[in-house]
Structure formats: C-alpha cells, structure tokens
Amino acid sequence: MTLDLKLGINMGFANNKYPEPKVWTRIVAEEMGLKYVQFVADLLNVYLPDDIVEEQTEQIIENADKYGLSITSSFLSSFTRVNHFMHPDSKQRDAWLAWFKKFAVISSRMGAKMTGGHPGILTFSDYDDPVRREERTAEGIKYWQELSWFCRDLGMTCMIFEPMSIPREYANTVEETRELLARLNDGAGLPFKLCLDPGHAPHPSDRDPYRWIRELGSESPIIHLQQTEAGQSRHWPFTKAYNDIGIIHADKVIEALEASGATEAELIFEIYHREAWSTEFNIIPDHQESVAYWRNYVKQ
C-alpha cells in the first residue's frame, strides 16, 4: 500500500513575528519551499472588527494564491490554548462556540477542509470532582458536535483534535484518545479525526512517540512535527545539533505510519522559538534545515 505524504507547516511560528499575509506567505513558499499550510487562529483574531477580519482574510487568500500555497486546515495556537468548550462558565462556552463558527467560516474561505484544536481544558476544581468532570466533558463534546454540523454545511470533510500532555487537557493516553474520539463521533455531523503530535510528553507510561503513530496514525490526517528529548515537548527544529540528541527520527515516523495502515498524511512542522537573543534570528534558517532533513524522506 502506498503512503502519500506531504510536508507542510503550522503557522504558529509566525505569531507576533510575521503576521503580515504578504510576508508569511512568501517566507513559507520561497524561503522554506513548502506548499501546505495549517493556518492558526492567533494570526487573525476573528473578534476584531468585521472590516479588519474581511480585509485580512482577503489578503491571506490573495497572497496564498500568489505563492501557490494550499491552506488545508486551521487550528488553535499558543494564545488560544484556553478552556473554551470546557470552561466552567456557560456564557463563555457559548461565546467560544460563536468564535469557533466565525473562525470556521474564514478558514473555509481560505480553502481549509478541516479545523480544530485541543479538546478543551478543565479547571482543577472541575477535574478534581469526578461528577463535575464528566458533566463538563459531556457538555464540551456537545459543543464540538454542534460545531461539526456547522462545518459540514461549510463543505469541510472532517474535524480534528490534538491529544495533549496532561489529563486536564484530555487524551494524554492512547486509550483515552480512542475513547474521546468515539464519544465525539457518536452524533457528529462530520467525522472527528486526530492531529497527532508524537513529540508530546503525555502520561509517563505512554511516552513512546512511535506507539502513538502505530496505534493512531490511520486516524490522523495531520501529524505535527517537532524535535524533542524524552519526557519533554521542546518543539525544537530538526537541525543536526538537535537531531543528535532528539528522539524524533523521520525514518521511524514513516515506518510507524506505514504500520498503522495510514494511506496519507500531512506532516506539519510545529517548531517554536522563544523570544531570546540566542534564537530570535534563527527562525527561518532552522526551518530551512528542518525542511531539508525531511525532504530526504518526503518529496511532496
């Protein structure tokens, strides 16, 4: 069975650094040599005034077309890593549903066929109370399902969520991920699938990155790529220095994907650089070296 792989990029690297559509589209296409893009919410706050959102959306579409980019999905990012559908305040959960719908609309206009993010985050108060934890989880699933019907009407093909690293953020074991996936799909308007990040450091007994891919790769149309060390989620680049000490290796990732039964996947770089003098000016060169490393294994 042929495994169809594509290389792309999560736009989190551009947050507050390259927010201009004409800038980031050129960087991705010309300096990184990539075509496939996962747009992130932090690059365009949909609660800005409508005229700003419309202007920015049009600029993104225009410049993506100019450089031949394909925005295949959209996702939450660093600044939107909040409670949203698992917030204890029902009014805020409702507000986030309206927010997600606006984000889905502009994502669809950009060409995205799937959208999502982390499942939600429980407060300690809700997590520590088993009854309230289940209530909040069940409510959150209903919000995601309502959003899925909305996205179906937009012409999207699936919803995606990312298994996270701690219990309050959901799906920090393979078994818990399967359970949440099944619950989300029971009554959904679109299939729920995964956006795996094998570089996460989830439950201590479940930190083999390749087991996650072998077990769940066939349910993950998108996989985030980061280099990291064992027990951490560093979001390092795939430069020689980090590859020498890191645990994520391209050949093993692809081998695990093949073993999962997957037929296709987008491998999306999710590399972060902290605001520090030692790394601030390495963003583009580190991505270029990372792309070059993965191009040895993925040609598209």
Number of domains into which the chain is organized: 1
Is 80 exceeded by the pLDDT of residue 300? no
The answer to whether 183 and 211 have CB atoms below 8 angstroms apart is: no
pLDDT for the residue numbered 137:
98
pLDDT, tens digit, for every residue of 118-127?
A: 999 999 999 9
Of all residues in the chain, what percent carry a pLDDT higher than 90? 96
What's the mean per-residue pLDDT of the chain? 97
DSSP state of 186: T
Can you tell me the mean pLDDT for 164-175?
96
**Amino acid letter for position 122:** L
pLDDT for the residue numbered 14:
97
138 vs 300, residue with greater confidence:
138
Is 80 exceeded by the pLDDT of residue 1? no
Domain CATH for 180: 3.20.20.150
User: What does pTM read for this prediction?
Assistant: 0.97
pLDDT, tens digit, for every residue of 11-35?
A: 999 999 999 999 999 999 999 999 9
DSSP state of 11: G
User: pLDDT class for 177, splitting at 50, 70, 90?
Assistant: very high
| Domain of 227, in residue numbers | 4-296
The answer to whether 156 and 119 have CB atoms below 8 angstroms apart is: no
Rounded to whole angstroms, how far apart are CA atoms 261 and 115? 23
The structure tokens 């409670």 sit at 83
143 φ, ψ (degrees, to nearest 5): -65, -45
Q: Report the candidate in 210, 213, 249 with the shortest Cα–Cα distance to residue 228.
A: 249
User: pLDDT class for 274, splitting at 50, 70, 90?
Assistant: confident
